[in-house]
Amino acid sequence: MSTVYINSASCISVQDTLNENILQNLTPESSSNIIKAIEPNYKEFIPPAMIRRMSKTVKMSSVASHYALKEAGIEQPDAIIVGTGMGCSQDSEKFLKNVIDNHEEFLTPTFFIQSTHNTVAGQVALGLQCHAYNFTYVNTSSSLEFSLLDAQLQINDGEAENVLVGSTDEQTNRTMELYCLNNTIKKETDLPVDYLKSTTNGVVWGEGASFFVVGKNKTESTYAKLKNISISNKVELNEVQDFIQNFLTQNNLSAHDIDAVILGFSGDADSNVYYTKAMDVFPDSSLLYYKHLSGEFNTASGFSTFMACHILKEQQIPEIMMINSEKKESVKNILLYNHLAGNDHSLVLLEKA
């Protein structure tokens, strides 16, 4: 497939990523096991009457998509593609609570209608009055990667020139309680978290929304070239290095050509071993991690893609993200490697535009 360009990048996250000087103002979080996104003033973007009816993930996505389109200088995208792991779980919980509280009788359909995973893509399209291709991917931690792959195919097939691609996930009280009960989220006794050398299982859970405009042509606002994506539902620990090497070979690259590798170390001892294995492939690269800044969630790779875009555009690697001391004078190729609890592995290759 031919190269496409990431022409804008917008993110709402645990960090203050809507403001300027993002790389200089990153603050790690290790003392809490559930961390919430810093939300903007929604009244500046959404009519008050609509805000009341929107779940958090829809509100975050509406603002993040607004910033992404504005930065790319586009009013109407040729397609809207959104990836989400949990969808509008806030409204799902409200609907299920209504079912229980009302003994399955006299239910209002509003929460049910708004609980579907494709609500986000639909609401963004309604706000823009955009009748183009509209699709939602629900593939746990690979949801954004599938969305980017679809955007690349749309552009390569001549179906679109500019595609709005997003990823979004929100926290809800009941789901967080269940995650604590099944030890998905770290116990408070295991805090603070050492994301790189943790000996305990469980993660710090975050949330956020990241949106990008992927385009056929390079523009003044271009951040990076999206070169290639590889996704595998299952990779055994002894296959990790081959998984990465085969991907590099497909793209006519060696490990020495990769200037920086962004790994998804989450503080979960059982699944961190995949990233430790991957590090051995890159003795000369800058090794970076990011989930101490964003938390773990289904579409946390949206945050790493956003950070990679800024690193390529600004040619700066934040000290707070560095695992080793290797620092390149210029950054041309960045490889992103992510999975969730050892499943749904993805590789994304970005290149300086």
Domain containing 277 — which CATH number? 3.40.47.10
Q: What is the tens place of the pLDDT at every residue in 201-229?
A: 999 999 999 999 999 999 999 999 999 99
Residue 139 CA to residue 84 CA, distance in Å, equals: 7
Of 178, 198, 215, the residue at which a domain comes to its end is 215
The letter for the amino acid at 26 is L
293 and 324 fall within a common domain: yes
- The DSSP result for 83-142, as a single string, is E-SS-SHHHHHHHHHHHHHTTT-S--SHHHHHTSTTHHHHHHHHHHT--SEEEEE--GGG
Q: What is the tens place of the pLDDT at every residue in 248-292?
A: 999 999 999 999 999 999 999 999 999 999 999 999 999 999 999
70 and 35 fall within a common domain: yes
- At residue 27, the pLDDT reads 95
37 and 154 fall within a common domain: yes
Percent of residues, the chain, with pLDDT higher than 70? 100
200 and 292 fall within a common domain: no
- At residue 50, the pLDDT reads 87
Cβ atoms of 43 and 51 within 8 Å: the answer is yes
pTM value is: 0.95
- At residue 8, the pLDDT reads 98
Looking up tokens 């003795």 gives 283
137 and 11 fall within a common domain: yes
Quick one: which H or E segment has residue 224? Answer: strand 224-234
- At residue 186, the pLDDT reads 96
185 and 37 fall within a common domain: yes
210 and 237 fall within a common domain: no
Q: What is the tens place of the pLDDT at every residue in 165-198?
A: 999 999 999 999 999 999 999 999 999 999 999 9
For residues 323-343, give the mean pLDDT.
Answer: 95
For residues 327-347, give the mean pLDDT.
Answer: 96
Lowest pLDDT segment from 20-24, 37-41, 76-80, 309-313: 20-24
Q: What integer best gives the mean pLDDT of the chain?
A: 95
209 and 242 fall within a common domain: no
Q: What is the tens place of the pLDDT at every residue in 110-136?
A: 788 888 899 999 999 999 999 999 999
Residue 42 CA to residue 24 CA, distance in Å, equals: 25
Of 170, 195, 215, the residue at which a domain comes to its end is 215
208 and 247 fall within a common domain: no
Q: What residue numbers bound the domain in which 203 lies?
A: 4-215
* Nearest residue to 344 (alpha-carbon basis) of 159, 199, 161, 144: 144
Of 180, 215, 250, the residue at which a domain comes to its end is 215
129 and 33 fall within a common domain: yes
- Domain count of the chain? 2
